[in-house]
Amino acid sequence: MDFLPLFFNLNDRQVLLVGGGDIALRKARLLKRAGVGLTVISHAVDEELRALLTDDRDEIILGDYHSDLLEGKTLVVAATDDAELHRQVHAEAVARNIPINVVDTPKLCSFIFPAIVDRSPIVIGITSGGQSPVLARLLRARLETLIPKGYSSLGGLVGRFRDRVKARFNSLNDRRQFWENVLEGQIAEKVFSGRHDEAESMLVSAINRGDAGHKTGEVYLVGAGPGDPELLTFKALRLMQQADVVFYDNLVSPGVLDLCRRDADLIYVGKRRDHHTVPQDDINALLVKHAKLGRRVVRLKGGDPFIFGRGGEELEELKAHGIPFQVVPGITAASACSTYAGIPLTHRGYAQSVKFVTGQLKNRQQALDFKELIQPNQTVVFYMGLHTLPQISAGLMAHGRAPDTPIAIVSHGTSVDQKVLIGTLADIATKQEQAQLPAPALIIVGNVVRLYEKLAWFGETAPSDNITHALGMVRSEARFTEANVA
């Protein structure tokens, strides 16, 4: 270990900053966040840096650096383009046992500034020891996406009640168990959702009850999006990472499943046309059962839970049994697949409204209101309509939609297997019979489909015959296999 990571309390301490340009400004911003009084020595000082120094403890000195400026300073930062000056400041600071950072010169640093994830009072520092600051910043960016801003409020809540918990529980193990349940349970989730008063009230009640071993189950109804793991929301990923059990559908991709907590139970309850592995009523009962066992349950659904996903039916059952729940929206297939195919659902020159329609209804009875689906300047998106494509196209034409109206089928949208079939209402059924694009697939009807050849961006250029468009994607993440799901 080249540098020992330490956290210094610099509040009300004096720091010397040698330099007044852009680099000095970046360091000054960080130092002022730590509550220091800052002395800046330079021949010229950036106006933004001047504006930052508003504290009575701050001082700007225009002129040459000299060693007397080190008197009474806790830290020194040298941020100029003068290598000789940097060596002088370093030598004189070291002689006085004052920690010094010389920007971009690790060998002249007795301390370094890490890349910081700030969720104060929770602070994470990442360093490469000066070898690769860019890599440290990239790692920080990864952590920023995984750690909600709410951890700041959560850390503050814990800090305010730490002494009360210590007084309530004599055993170190009891205190540890209590805080684990708080930080991984409903109280933390209340904080993350901005319901701070409720969180504090629940924490006070838990302390008064002394229920260090108490754990309440909860269900998270999570939209898994269209298949590409990178399209998950931050909140979805966080809840998937803390789940005890995950019930997932057929449309949830292996890549998304691979992001669930490694030791979670993964239970397949998917549905394909005419084949339900687990009936809906049984799924509802499973969610209730596992939540009542005190488990954190994720119900993972392809796309968005409330768009043809039966999410409302499942929540009705949870509500009836008093099970707490959260709903995390996902990117629905209509938006994702059309975007990846380069087909805007609305466009000023083509369509000013869009309708989402399911190709089937409850009990497999199709009851499409074709009169509502043939309005001009409108895009219609059919979910689960591949098996009734001939009836859909025939019905639209029979009710007045022009036979040359463009239509697209997007199969396995957003995935490496995505394919697009372009045609018209008159010929799309024949083209699909030849192409045999597989489900899951989305059907887009409307003049916006004419933009496909111009705007297609995901993979290869559209072929001239407009029959199939095989699209590919190079992922920046690890490859996913079926073995991950087993």
Torsion, Cα 163 164 168 169, to 10 degrees, reads -40
Question: Which residues does residue 117 pair with via DSSP β-bridges, in sequence order?
Answer: 124
Q: Is 304 annotated as a binding residue?
A: yes
Q: Is 167 annotated as a binding residue?
A: no
Residue ranges in 96-233 assigned as alpha helix (H): 133-146, 150-168, 172-183, 186-192, 196-209
Q: Is 302 annotated as a binding residue?
A: yes
Q: Is 351 annotated as a binding residue?
A: no
CB count, 10 Å around CB of 214?
13
Q: Is 227 annotated as a binding residue?
A: no
Q: Is 413 annotated as a binding residue?
A: yes
Supply the DSSP symbol for 438.
P
**Is 107 an active-site residue?**
no
Which residues are CB-contacts of 111 (< 8 A; sequence separation ≥ 6)? 3, 75, 99, 100, 101
Check 265, 271, 355, 417 and give the catalytic one.
271
Q: Is 398 annotated as a binding residue?
A: no
Check 244, 249, 301, 419 and give the catalytic one.
249
Q: Is 23 annotated as a binding residue?
A: yes
In contact, 425 and 400? CB cutoff 8 Å: no
Q: Is 307 annotated as a binding residue?
A: yes
* CA proximity to 350, closest of 452, 421, 268: 452
**Is 249 an active-site residue?**
yes
Strands 59-62 and 75-78: unpaired
Cα 119 to its chain centre, rounded Å, is 16
Q: Is 244 annotated as a binding residue?
A: no
Q: Is 309 annotated as a binding residue?
A: no
Is the sign of the CA dihedral 100, 104, 108, 109 positive or negative? positive
In contact, 225 and 325? CB cutoff 8 Å: no
Q: Is 310 helix (H, G, I), strand (E, B) or coil?
A: coil
In contact, 18 and 83? CB cutoff 8 Å: no
Q: Is 217 annotated as a binding residue?
A: no
Longest dimension (CA), the chain: 91
Residue carrying the six token digits 């004189």: 92
Strands 37-42 and 59-62: parallel
Mind telling me the catalytic residues? 249, 271
Question: Residue ranges for the binding site for NAD(+)?
Answer: 22-23, 43-44
Question: Residue ranges for the binding site?
Answer: 22-23, 43-44, 226, 302-304, 307, 332-333, 384, 413
Question: Residue ranges for the binding site for S-adenosyl-L-methionine?
Answer: 226, 302-304, 307, 332-333, 384, 413
